[in-house]
Each structure stands twice: as structure tokens, then as C-alpha cells.
Chain A
Amino acid sequence: MDCNTGLLGPTFVQGLLLGFIYALIALGYTMVYGVLKLINFAHDAVFMIGGVAAFYVIGQWFGLTDPFTGVGLILVLVAVLVIGGLASSGGAVLLERAAYRPLRKRHAARLSYLISAIGASFFATYLFQQSFLLGPGKRSFPHVMTTEKAFEIFGSRVNNKGVLIIVTVIVCLVLLDRLINQTKTGRSIRALSEDVVAAQLMGVNVTRVIVMTFAIGGFFGGIASALYSLQFGNVVWNMGFIPGVKAFTAAVLGGIGNIRGAMLGGLLLGLIENMSVVCLGNQWSDVVAFVVLPLMLILRPTGILGERIGG
């Protein structure tokens, strides 16, 4: 095996950035799993909606396609992220309403949820492929930010978009940690994740908490989507698929249902798949990412940190 050690620095940086994005998406999988004990296989579509919404609002409606600087840049970036977050959050709430709640009311079997979620995901994804929405090709994301070198670590550059990703994700993770461990909503999410009957007997409104969980998970997924779209410069109808599967892998890697596990799993997966390039070559990175999942399921099915939602 030839290892190109010169790639260590750049792949580390790239892995870290993608890992941060996976972590943010993985939160959605893990939180919904916590309260429903189900994988939300439509979270990839929820993710896609965020970037696409920012593309429409910022690029199409407001026509903001030229680079901003200074305060203007900060404002437009906040707008992009918030629009992405809110759109995905709304999408996730709709999804719960349309694809999950009717089944929950009927005490459906677990397989029905899976089928319903996959159906909803296909519906949303292919809806955006239609020519009256995005159409089949890539659409370029509004170029509101030029790429500039920000600083250097391990001899490799981190640009301003990288800084944006790192700062945004860290802020999101800190906020979520606070929310889960210090607010009433957070306590009800933890309670429902740990014991449904006990949560009900404490007076937790189960339906409301499930909706909140979809909304919060969707919000972070939408922010991740906006970051992802900014980073790669385009949006496309099936953009959720690969990051979705990777983030799901990350959630399982860290311990599905476990919020800190999702963060850790995201970072690790980003690093593993990108740094594998150092020795294996580019074409192997997805393979490596997906080998991690079965390996983990065989060696430690509960993930690195195990199943547990709170801190």
C-alpha cells in the first residue's frame, strides 16, 4: 500500500469539516430514534429541503447572487442558515404528521413506519426533481460568499467557509446540549426516550414531544444542509441521499439514540472516510464509510457510547 503522507493535513481538515456536517445531520436520526425507537428514513429528504429553501429564498426571490462582505455577509449567512433550518424543521413536522402520526394512532407494526418513511422520502425527493421545482440537474447555490483562506493548521489551509462550518456546528451543539439538559422540553424528550409509560405518567404530552423532536432534529438538519450547499456551491434534488446515509451511519457508530454519540460518530466518520484517501485513493472513501457500519454492528451493536439520550 502506498501512503501519501502529504495528504494527511488536507484530508484531516476536510474530514473534520464533513464530520461536523454529518454530526449535525446525525442528531436528527438519533433524536427521533430516541423518542420513537425508529430510524427516520425520510431524514435525507428533510435535509434536502433546507438547502433548497435557502436556494429559492436567497437566490430566486431576493436575487442575492453576488458576494457580500463585512456585516452584510454575516447577515446574509445567518439568513441562509435560519431559512435552511426553518424549512427543514417545517418539513420534518409535516413528515411526522403525514407519515408517522396516522400509524402511531393505529398502533401499526414497526415495518409500516419504515415503509411509510421511505415512501415519504421518495415523494419529497422526486417532487423536487420535477421541472416546475428544481428539475433534474444541479442548480448553483447563490454565490454570497467568496472562498478565502482563513488560517492554516498542520500545513493545510482552512478557508472562510470551513470556519463558518466549525463555528456554526459548535454553536448548534452547545445550544442543543443546553436544550436537552436544561429545559423542560429537553427533559420531556429525555423522559420519553428513556421510558414511554413513565413519561406519560409524569404528564408528558407524548404527541407534542414527538413533534418537537422532529422539529429540532429537522432544524439542525436544515442548517447542515445550508452549510453543505454553501460549501459545495450547488443544490440538487437528490443531495440528501449520500449525506443522509453517512449521517445515519455516524449515528449508529456513536450509539443510536445518544446525542453525544451522534456528534462523536459524525466527526469520526468524516475523518475515517476522508483520511482513508491517504492510503487508499479517492474512489475508496465511500466504501470505507460504509464498511464502518457493518463492522460496528458486528463488533459493538450499541455504538461507541451506547444508547442514551441525555448528558
Chain B
Amino acid sequence: MSTFVINRLLQAFLVLLVMSVLVFVGIYLVGDPISMLVSPEATDLERDAVRESFGLDRPIFVQYVTFLGSALQGDFGRSFLTGEPALQLILERMPATVELVGFAMFFSVVIGVPLGIIAGLRPEATYSKVIMTGSIFGFSLPTFWVGMVLIMLFAVQLGILPTSGRGETVQVGAIELSILTLDGLRHLILPALTLGLTKASLIIRVTRAATREIQAMDYIKFARAKGLSSSRILRVHLLKNVLIPIITVAGLEFGQALAFAVVTETVFSWPGMGKLLIDSILTLDRPVVVAYVLIMVLFLVLLNLVIDLLYMVIDPSSREKVRD
């Protein structure tokens, strides 16, 4: 068990190392940030001086090793643009995104799992067909379009929900949260709904497929033959098995959404990490981009680890494979 976790962390470290090289080289190839760092009227002499002060004059290999050295000590360099530490910039924005994505995922699971089970238990029923048709829409409509429609409906037409920013926040420790104030919650609803709609559709489909598969199993029939109530069969025998694929999908989707909440954050001017990434790429703010990607990789690796651990809680036979 602990060897399993240690192995996974070692793997994670390796992945991080490879990713850091790729990102470093990638962003090096994208463009020379010097034009962003000095005014257009600067002389060549001034340019070289700036270049030297940022260490940009040295060969890429040397730059990388320097970066790696300080990154291992937790220093990802400073933003070219603002001079703030890159890591701090990202961490400051992180709560907003985590909050948005977390809320969206919560919504999609709470909506998606029951609807998926309903549709899976009675696939021929009209309401099941309505659910499935709805999920196809939720699935295929582009996020920005859904966001626009929701804004038009709830903000412009009905005027009941705000459309941009986080609203009033509350400081909890070092973190600012919207979800704890009524105003913040109202700001959260539309972007979370936008992001959650696609996710909910996906969860519906996964849940329905799993429900149908499990429902046909002998052990469900055996449970009925034991004279169990249908609610116990549903809650204990069916749900526990259906949760296994749902955890995988919801976990991966959570990671995806976190790393790429860009579209939703842009539409709703949500001050999260997605916007930060886009801005940093546009301004060739190397340290921020590199730090962002590495943090996301680290995050996704950890997320996968958590999914695997959750798996073991639910599916006892997966514990077996880990023991050796």
C-alpha cells in the first residue's frame, strides 16, 4: 500500500521532469520575450542589458538547469511582467478556479448520477429517452455558446443573476472564497452551470451505461431472489458498483476542467488560473507559463493517485493488485 503510493510519487516526479523539459523548450521556441520586456524605442545596448539581467543571453541548456535548480527549492522565478513570484501569482488565482470547477463538478454529479440511474433502470421509458436526448444537447453544445445563452436569459432578460467576477468574497485563512457569501454564490451559479452542463451530460451517459450493465448481472437477480427491498438493492448492490466507473470519469473531468477552465472563465470574467494562463502565453511571460504547466501536471498526477485510492475504498478487488 505505502509502496504503491511511493511508487506513484516517484513516477510523478519523473513525469514532472520530462514535462519541465518539454515546456521549457516549447515556450523557448514560441518567441523571444525581450520585445515584451523593453519599450519599442530601446537601443540594442539597453536590450542586451535587460536580456542579461533576466539570464536570457545564456544557452537554453544553462537556462534550464538554473531554472531546475531553483524550482527544486520551490522558486519558479518571477513574472517578467509584474515581477511577482510566478508560483505566488498562480496560487493566488487557484482558489477561484478550484471553487468554480468544484462547484460545477458537484452540480454535475448530483444531477448526473440520479438521472443516469433513472435512465438506466428503465431505458425504454419516455422519460429516459428525454433524459438521454437532453444529455446529447448538453454534450455537444459549445461551452461559450451555453455561457452566452445563460447570460442572455438570466442576466439580460430576467436580470436576476450577475455575469462577471466573483462578487463578494470571504477570507478563510489565506484563501478567498465566494461560495460563503450570498453575493458570491450568485456570481458562481452561471459559470458553474455552464461548466457543469457538459460534465453532467457525460456523467449521465456513463452512469446509464454502468447501470444497465450492472442491472443485468446475476448478483442483482440473486439479491432480488433473497427478498431484499428494491431500495436496498439500488442503494447498496447497484450504486456501489456503478460508482466505480463514475469515480474515474468524474475525477478525470475534474482535472481537465481545472486545467482548462479558460473558456468559462473568459466568458464570465472569472479571475481564475485559466485567464492567467492565456494572458501569460500572450505576453510570453515564460516563468508563469512554465510554473503553471508544472503545477497542473503535479495536480493531475496527484488527482490520479486520489482516484486510485478511492477505487480501493470502493472496489475491494483492486486492493489485491496493489498488495504486491
Q: Does A associate with B in a complex?
A: no
